[in-house]
Chain A
Amino acid sequence: MRRAHFKFSWIVPLLLAPQLLVIFTFFYWPSAQALYWAFTLEQPWGGGNTWVGFDNFRKVLSDPYYWGSVRVSVIYALATTILAMGMALTLALFVDRQLAGYRVWRIGIIWPYAVAAPAVGLAFQFVFNPGAGIFSYINTISPGWWDLSKHPWQAVTAIVIAGAWKQVSYSFIFFLAALQAIPRSLTEAAAMDGARPLRRMIDLQLPLLTPTFFFLLVINITDSFTDSFGIVDTLTGGGPFRATDLMVYKIYSDGFRGFDYSGAAAQSIILMCLVMALTFIQFRYIERRVHYT
């Protein structure tokens, strides 16, 4: 394949500049700032700061509330990922088999992804509201049983459902595209070989979906660690009793409510390293089992 080469090399940085500027302003600069704050003691209202080395990290890691936050974040990430991908795959398999009008469905199902997380949280507040929501019907049978603000496990369930609902659409689109990329003759060959639809799904479609599955796993886990703030903030506010105090939410509440900039910065760095480590592990150990064709 021939490549186009530009004679003037200044065109390259010029074309890259807008994107680099955005990344620099919204990622590298804040990250560098957070890294600096994580190793200093920052005054809440500006002014001087002191270098404290790893003190901030020590403090965060010896805080039992922090470990509680890590625990619920992991539960949230795994649960939303499994739920969202499971739902997405199920929907995609159905849509793939019954193709009439699938283009319309596809657009309809991608929309939730375009909804901002706080809006999702707000919408689910109506769904989960113990007094007036859909779930309030449970309370007519057993009064007081369903209440997000009282029962930690119910609060966790609620944010998992809301988070998964938001993620389903994205995974669905990828699963559907991957299913439709499987050549029709492969399915036909399997049909001639005697395999019924369910058998074809297990032996043929699912193995051929593994690259997509892997990609979505990485994206979903990363997303559920970093993009859950809006849902938690509107739905539970981290409660009850810190039950839904996810790592991102704790960074926000410690930093902007508790004015502990340094502690929040240290937590940000830990979260960033955690997401990087998770992605690395997934590429290192799970990707090996993926069949790229």
Chain B
Amino acid sequence: MAEIAIRNVAKTYGKTRIMEGVNLTIRNGEFVVILGPSGCGKSTLLRLIAGLEEITAGEIAIAGQVVNDLEPRERGCAMVFQNYALYPHMTVAENIGYALKVAGVPKAERQARIAATAASVGLGDFLDRRPGQLSGGQRQRVAMARAIIREPKVFLFDEPLSNLDAKLRVQMRHEIRRIHTRIKATSIFVTHDQHEGMTLADRLVVMNKGTIEQVGTPDEIYDRPASLYVAGFIGSPAMSFLPGRVDAGRQALMLESGAALPLPRALAQAAAGRLVQAGLRPETLSLTAPGKGQIDARVDFVEELGAERLYHLMVEDLPLSVLSSEKVRPAEGAPIGVSVPLGALHLFDADTGRRIEPQAAETPVAVTA
């Protein structure tokens, strides 16, 4: 168990700068998920912590010790790889016990620990099999067991669930969380799947183009996304954005389409006169008869989701989605009203893309960029 401190870390390959000014502190025993699209540098950050890549600038400390110049084996991290990276010529038992064998643990103790670890991830009956004879889920368990058996200070997961089918992925997610509760090692989990991130994380780190956009609990990030980027990335179905200008006198956001959306006073004052992008979460909006809501729109198409329907609307030429459990099926192209509850609007500065918080807001969201 250990605290991890990442200070001003940068990484370049030749002249390509892929990561810059990354600062992050991960508390002892915390489960942190690094979330971002492919190519945002999240896996690289993990590999820098593991010691599989060298950092170009800055420093990384594990349990107070700067590890910049330490070999992977000296850092006390265990890693679960995306493709599992099991040794194909070794049995499950040999795979799990390899680290102990290298460390020179006596055979009897080794076997006892292998058996116990394998049993804890439900692999007790497969010890003599080769990885090639296992299913995807079982291989995943072997990879987990191989990491657990070392009793590492730090657990690193590099998109470990992305090769599994949807059902197994949900199941393994719970299992990973359960293992974390049991062994309480500081864990960093890299994924591009926001559901995985939201369900697993104590804290989420959203990355974009080699920098950290926002750090916070899943709640904080969903409720108060710090930037347009985070707002668009987190939440499914995704947030819609409409441009407009804030009119402090009328305490409203004047959309370019002509509609006026009332704003809470503190927010209207904070954003007075500014050009903004207004973010609207589909699940906070509701449909009304044409002309009865704050926004007038036309129906583009309706996506049936079973319990709910996702209405894809057009406000002039901009898309707007509404998620609703009402069973209305308006015709394509039909006019329709959208009602926006007070306080449902997220405002982002049109130039910087940063969130605009109401004046005299409680604690502002911690942003490390």
Contacts and interface: CB of A to CB of B under 8 A. Distances in A.
Interface of A: 183, 185-186, 188-196, 199, 203-204, 207-208, 291, 293
Interface string B30-66: 0000000000000000000010100000000000000
A185 B99 contact: no
Contacts of A189: 79, 81, 85-87, 146
Nearest to B47: A188
A196 B86 CA distance: 17
- Among A186, A189, A190, find the residue whose CB has the most chain B CB atoms closer than 10 A: A189
Contacts of B81: 185, 188-189
A85 to B, nearest CB: 20
A194 B149 CA distance: 13
A15 to B, nearest CB: 36
B328 interface: no
B264 interface: no
Contact of B78 (A183, A185, A192, A199): A192
A193 B50 contact: no
20 contacts: A186-B85, A186-B87, A188-B52, A188-B72, A189-B79, A189-B85, A189-B87, A191-B71, A191-B72, A191-B73, A192-B78, A192-B79, A193-B99, A193-B102, A194-B102, A195-B98, A203-B87, A208-B88, A291-B89, A293-B88
Chain A interface helix/strand/loop/mixed: helix
A193 B98 contact: yes
Contacts of A192: 50, 52, 72-73, 77-79
Contact of B85 (A188, A196, A199, A203): A188
Interface of B: 50, 52, 71-73, 77-79, 81-83, 85-89, 98-99, 102-103, 132, 146, 150
B88 A195 contact: no
Contacts of A185: 81-83, 85
A291 B88 contact: yes
Contacts of B79: 188-189, 192
**Which 5 pairs between the two chains have the least Cβ-Cβ distance?**
A185-B85, A189-B85, A193-B99, A293-B88, A194-B73
Contacts of A188: 52, 72, 79, 81, 85
A291 B90 CA distance: 10
Contact of B87 (A190, A191, A194, A199): A190
B73 A207 contact: no
A199 to B, nearest CB: 6
A180 to B, nearest CB: 16
A190 B94 CA distance: 12
Name, among A188, A199, A203, A207, the residue most crowded by chain B CB atoms within 10 Å (CB to CB).
A188
Contacts of A194: 73, 99, 102-103
A196 to B, nearest CB: 8
Contacts of B98: 190, 193, 195, 203
Contacts of A203: 87, 98
A196 B150 CA distance: 17
B85 A183 contact: yes
A191 B52 contact: yes
A192 B82 CA distance: 15
Contacts of B85: 183, 185-186, 188-189
Nearest to B81: A185
Residue from B71, B81, B132 whose CB has the most chain A CB atoms within 10 Å: B81
B73 A199 contact: no
Nearest to B79: A192
Contacts of A207: 89
Nearest to A199: B102
A142 to B, nearest CB: 49
Nearest to A188: B52
Which of B82, B98, B132 counts the most chain A CB atoms within 10 A? B98
B132 A293 contact: yes
A203 B99 CA distance: 12
A183 B85 CA distance: 8
B240 to A, nearest CB: 39
Contacts of B102: 193-195, 199
A204 B87 contact: yes
A277 B99 CA distance: 43
Contacts of B88: 208, 291, 293
A195 B83 CA distance: 20
A186 B88 CA distance: 9
B7 to A, nearest CB: 23
A238 B89 CA distance: 45
Nearest to A193: B99
A152 B61 CA distance: 66
B280 to A, nearest CB: 42
Nearest to A206: B89
Given A189-B81, A193-B98, A293-B132, A208 B73 contact: no
Contacts of B86: 189
Contacts of A293: 88-89, 132
Given A185-B83, A193-B73, 13 more contacts: A185-B81, A185-B82, A186-B85, A188-B52, A188-B72, A191-B72, A191-B73, A194-B73, A195-B98, A195-B102, A199-B102, A207-B89, A291-B88
Contacts of A195: 73, 98, 102
B160 to A, nearest CB: 12
A178 to B, nearest CB: 13
